[in-house]
Structure 1
Amino acid sequence: MSPNPPSDISAVSALDEPARRRLYDYVRGHRDPVGRDDAAEALGMARQTAAFHLDKLADEGLLTVEFARRTGRTGPGAGRPAKLYRRSDREVAVQLPERSYELAGQLLAQALDDAERTGESPRRSLDRRARDLGAAIGAEAGPDDLLGTLEGCGYEPRVEGTDITLVNCPFHALAQQHTAMVCGMNLGLIEGLLDGAGCAGRRARLAPEDGYCCVRIEPAPATG
């Protein structure tokens, strides 16, 4: 008989331990799976301590485990595969990763009200509402803390070269079922945020990729 799955309460409690939370944040901040040695060195921990906490996070379902030979060698003499960790897709009651389904519901309800009142198409109204909300958020934050603002909105931004990728979609489950509508809303929200914050050197575009938000932020093309 298989053991019971970990509860949301125990998963949340696991992150109360400071070293464990640092390790969770370190793993979720990387696109590729993370090894014990990498995490221990980056966070200044003993390897044994890092391994213990990483396994605890995996036991709680917050990380998933995979095995691979980091050298790429195979066959006899290649050594044992390394144990690697990446953030799992599990959602717990405190929303890790963060979701904003209530916000999406409010935007959808407002868009439907606007459509009934003005005759505007619901899709156009939703995009406009999302853009207006993003502009208000951006205007309050300003241009100097774009990453912090995106982090506060639940997007988990990551700088990759000249682009900003968004590791988390706050509307993930809705986007799976209503992709075009929700991704359009997401794009409008982030475009509004960039405009409101005065980030003229950045633009948002749709760039769907598994495991990421559908929107990517890149340098705006030079205008001649």
Structure 2
Amino acid sequence: MAVRPLPDRLAALAALDDPVRRAVFDLVSRAEAPVSRDAAAEALGVTRRIAAMHLDRLAEEGLLEFEFRRPPGRGGPGAGRPAKLYRRAGDEVAVSVPERHYDVIGSLLADAVSESIASGEAVQDVLHRTAYESGRAWAAETDDLDAALAGAGYEPSVTEPGTITLRNCPFHRLARQYTSLVCNVNLDLLRGVVEGSPFRAVLDPRPGQCCVRLLPA
């Protein structure tokens, strides 16, 4: 349920704005095996220092992963230092304005369907429970409810004393197509998030806002 903070995702995408760095990323992405600094420098016609700088920046932003390995057939004393090899990171980086997190609800739906197939329990029952438990697990990761909601793209705002309005729906497009399904999953998710807090989650759809509001418990 954890969502990578928006500033981190923006920084990662901004790192690709440099044409040389983008070329380095494309080179590593197309390669069938991890790429060394020397190989990147030779392929792109830049110095090893420039290649290393861009490779490390991409790794810092989470776009590349790296490992240290000696070339095949070289080992033992005198083999030299292992080479730093880079490959494309397995996780994707996505940014949308306003924030959308279709991966979150997609994961909930996939988990529920998989468990239903394995157990024979009704998908709807599993889905409600899965969303609620995911919300509880998400809340356990932080003590700051407002920051957690903001980080997930809900854009929380106190519009009345003790009431939190969620001004953005992270699942907007799916909520428009499958309103009842998505809004009820969202409600169960947020019920889990606010459990033990001074709030309760209720369905209260309003134009331009999330379908759930958080009222005083």
Tell me the distance in 1 between the aligned counterparts of 2:183 and 2:125: 13
What residue is the counterpart of 1:186 in the other structure?
186
Which digits, 9 at most, give the CA deviation of each residue in 1:124-170, with x for residues without a partner?
Answer: 2111111111101111212xx21111001110000011210001111
- TM-superposed CA distance for 1:103, in Å, is 1.4
- Structure 2 segments unaligned to the other structure (5+ residues): 1-12, 15-93
Tell me the distance in 1 between the aligned counterparts of 2:138 and 2:175: 22
- TM-superposed CA distance for 1:94, in Å, is 2.1
Tell me the distance in 1 between the aligned counterparts of 2:125 and 2:153: 24
Query: Aligned to 1:184, what secondary structure does the other structure show?
Result: helix
What residue is the counterpart of 2:212 in the other structure?
215
- TM-superposed CA distance for 1:190, in Å, is 0.6
What residue is the counterpart of 1:125 in the other structure?
126
Q: TM-score, normalised by structure 2?
A: 0.55
Tell me the distance in 2 between the aligned counterparts of 1:163 and 1:125: 29
- The 4+ residue runs of structure 1 with deviation greater than 4 A are none
What residue is the counterpart of 1:174 in the other structure?
174
- Structure 1 segments unaligned to the other structure (5+ residues): 1-11, 14-92
Q: Equivalent pairs: percent with the same residue?
A: 47
Query: Is residue 123–residue 181 contact of structure 1 (8 Å, CA) maintained in 2?
Result: no
Tell me the distance in 1 between the aligned counterparts of 2:130 and 2:183: 14
Q: Does 1:98 align with 2:103?
A: no
Q: Does 1:149 align with 2:148?
A: yes
What residue is the counterpart of 1:84 in the other structure?
none
Higher gyration radius (CA) = 2
Output aligned runs, 1:1-224, within 5 Å.
Answer: 94-142=95-143, 145-161=144-160, 162-195=162-195, 198-199=196-197, 201-220=198-217
Tell me the distance in 2 between the aligned counterparts of 1:123 and 1:168: 25
